[in-house]
Amino acid sequence: MPNLFDSLTLRGVTLRNRIGMSPMCQYSATSGQANSWHVVHYGSRAIGGAGLVIVEATAVTPQGRISPHDLGLWNDTQVEPLARIVRFVEEHGAVAGVQLAHAGRKGSTRPPWQGGLTASPADGGWEDVIAPSALPFAEGHLVPQALDEAGIRATVRAFADAARRARSAGMQFVELHAAHGYLMHQFLSPLSNQRTDQYGGSFENRVRFVREVARAVRAAWPDKLPLFARLSATDWTEGGWDVGQTVELARLLKDDGVDLIDCSSGGNVAGARILTGPGYQVPFAEEVRRRAGMATAAVGQITDPMQADEIVSGGKADVVLLARELLRDPYWPLHAAQQLQHPTPWPAQYLRAAPKGTPAPKVTP
Ligand SMILES: Cc1cc2nc3c(=O)[nH]c(=O)nc-3n(C[C@H](O)[C@H](O)[C@H](O)COP(=O)(O)O)c2cc1C
């Protein structure tokens, strides 16, 4: 079994190690465009030694943003600011990808530091949110319009167009955001999808939209580059989406050209009782990996180098993603390498502060 610091090749892309930066909305964009905040934020984690950097949920349409301040890839002006991030991340040895997203009924909210509630038009918000069915996420949230078939087709196209733009920006992989109660997850779960057409009802119908998106993106995305999908493995609610369906869907997505399932959970049911704790979602990654026979990423309360190494060397996941711990410590991978006694280069500019014996990087400025 490999360890945390072994490289991993997915299609034509090789990651220097198995540590990734999990996607995290920064609510800091204007008109969907990245700026200096994003360059420094993502660039710091590349300098800090991560193998892959997943750029936050990036909306495929303006209406598909979680907040008015999300990144977007619905027009060409949004490409170059992202390309700047990709170039910097790659110069520092990491691989950059982007999470493509549509918020569906969870769109048009204020940033968490402004309370996270519905954004009014005065806040830059919008009222025409969409979903599989006209069911709000919770009381006080916008009531969405149920998508018609033309709307579904247009949304699938928007994902494919955004993937093409991601490629123009130089992204090395795309992750489809089908988790956390956003549009694709809303289609998957019988708790949010009550359609009676070919997109609702049976398992086969509920997964249809996600599979159409995956196939359209795969067709727009180079064969040599990997495609990921983030799924919420369970709604943590009776009668909702669950692990068995996640495994089934992973098998189908593999046929559709998805290379890795990023295993998260929850987000579709307000007030669901979630049993959290260190590594609480790792068993989902392990089960999908074993039963669907495909690469997985584990995420959620992974903070300790030994814990992360054991996830990989124990065959539970191929990649470990960190979110909040990488906000606390952008240099976590370099510190983990030190703790696990795995000689890893530091940036040349920082070598004088590195522990004795730290190798110099292959490329110096
Ligand atoms: C500030 C913040 C923003 C987040 N934004 C996203 C996002 O854009 N897409 C996503 O799939 N998950 C998002 N998440 C969830 C994280 O990617 C991750 O799955 C979750 O925080 C659990 O990992 P952790 O325990 O290492 O923080 C966000 C989390 C945080 C803390």
pLDDT in tens, 201-223: 999 999 999 999 999 999 999 99
Query: Would 361 be classed as within a structural domain?
Result: no
Q: Which atom of ligand 1 is nearest to the CA of 175?
A: 11
The catalytic residue among 42, 182, 199, 331 is 182
CATH code for the domain of 121: 3.20.20.70
> Which of 21, 24, 183 for a ligand 1 pocket mutation test, highest count of atoms within 8 Å of Cβ?
24
Query: Would 365 be classed as within a structural domain?
Result: no
Structural domain of 289: 8-353
Query: Would 362 be classed as within a structural domain?
Result: no
Task: Give strand pairing partners of 95.
Answer: 52
Q: Which atom of ligand 1 is nearest to the CA of 326?
A: 26
Alpha-carbon span 49 to 44, nearest angstrom: 9
pLDDT digits (tens, 9 = 90+) for 251-267: 999 999 999 999 999 99
Q: Which atom of ligand 1 is nearest to the CA of 22?
A: 17
Global model pTM greater than 0.85: yes
Q: Measuring from atom 18 of ligand 1, which residue has the nearest CA? A: 323
| CA 148–ligand 1 middle distance (angstroms) | 30
Residue with tokens 């692990």: 243
Q: Say if residue 36's pLDDT is above 90.
A: yes
Q: Measuring from atom 22 of ligand 1, which residue has the nearest CA? A: 300
Alpha-carbon span 39 to 11, nearest angstrom: 26
- Contacts with 287 (C-beta within 8 Å, 6 or more apart), sequence order: 233, 243, 247
pLDDT band with cut points at 50, 70 and 90 for residue 198: very high
Region 73-98: mean pLDDT is 98
Ligand 1 binding site (Cβ under 6 Å of any ligand atom)? 22-25, 56-57, 99, 177, 179-180, 230, 264, 299-302, 322-325
Residue with tokens 């049993």: 275
Query: Would 118 be classed as within a structural domain?
Result: yes
Mode of pairing for the β-strands spanning 295-299 and 260-264: parallel
The answer to whether the CB of 110 falls within 8 A of the CB of 98 is: no
pLDDT digits (tens, 9 = 90+) for 285-333: 999 999 999 999 999 999 999 999 999 999 999 999 999 999 999 999 9
| CA 190–ligand 1 middle distance (angstroms) | 24
pLDDT band with cut points at 50, 70 and 90 for residue 363: confident
| CA 357–ligand 1 middle distance (angstroms) | 34
The CA–CA distances, whole Å, from 24 to 54, 148, 196, 202, 327 equal 8, 30, 34, 32, 10
Q: What is the pLDDT of residue 196?
A: 98
> Which of 22, 55, 69, 326 for a ligand 1 pocket mutation test, highest count of atoms within 8 Å of Cβ?
22
Region 135-164: mean pLDDT is 97
| CA 234–ligand 1 middle distance (angstroms) | 16
Query: Would 2 be classed as within a structural domain?
Result: no
Q: Which atom of ligand 1 is nearest to the CA of 56?
A: 8
Torsion of CA 350, 354, 360, 363, to 10 degrees: -30
Query: Would 358 be classed as within a structural domain?
Result: no
pLDDT digits (tens, 9 = 90+) for 40-82: 999 999 999 999 999 999 999 999 999 999 999 999 999 999 9
| CA 24–ligand 1 middle distance (angstroms) | 5
Q: Measuring from atom 2 of ligand 1, which residue has the nearest CA? A: 24
Q: Measuring from atom 5 of ligand 1, which residue has the nearest CA? A: 24
Q: What is the pLDDT of residue 38?
A: 98
Q: What is the pLDDT of residue 365?
A: 82
Q: What is the pLDDT of residue 24?
A: 98
pLDDT band with cut points at 50, 70 and 90 for residue 362: confident
Q: Which atom of ligand 1 is nearest to the CA of 230?
A: 11
| CA 23–ligand 1 middle distance (angstroms) | 6
Look over the chain and give the mean of its residue pLDDT values, rounded to a whole number. 97
| CA 221–ligand 1 middle distance (angstroms) | 25
The answer to whether the CB of 126 falls within 8 A of the CB of 107 is: yes
Q: Which atom of ligand 1 is nearest to the CA of 177?
A: 11
Q: What is the pLDDT of residue 102?
A: 98
Region 101-114: mean pLDDT is 97
Q: What is the pLDDT of residue 324?
A: 98
Q: What is the pLDDT of residue 148?
A: 98
Query: Would 16 be classed as within a structural domain?
Result: yes
Query: Would 89 be classed as within a structural domain?
Result: yes
Domain count, the chain: 1
Q: Measuring from atom 23 of ligand 1, which residue has the nearest CA? A: 300
Q: What is the pLDDT of residue 116?
A: 79
Does residue 280 have an active-site annotation? no
Q: What is the pLDDT of residue 364?
A: 81
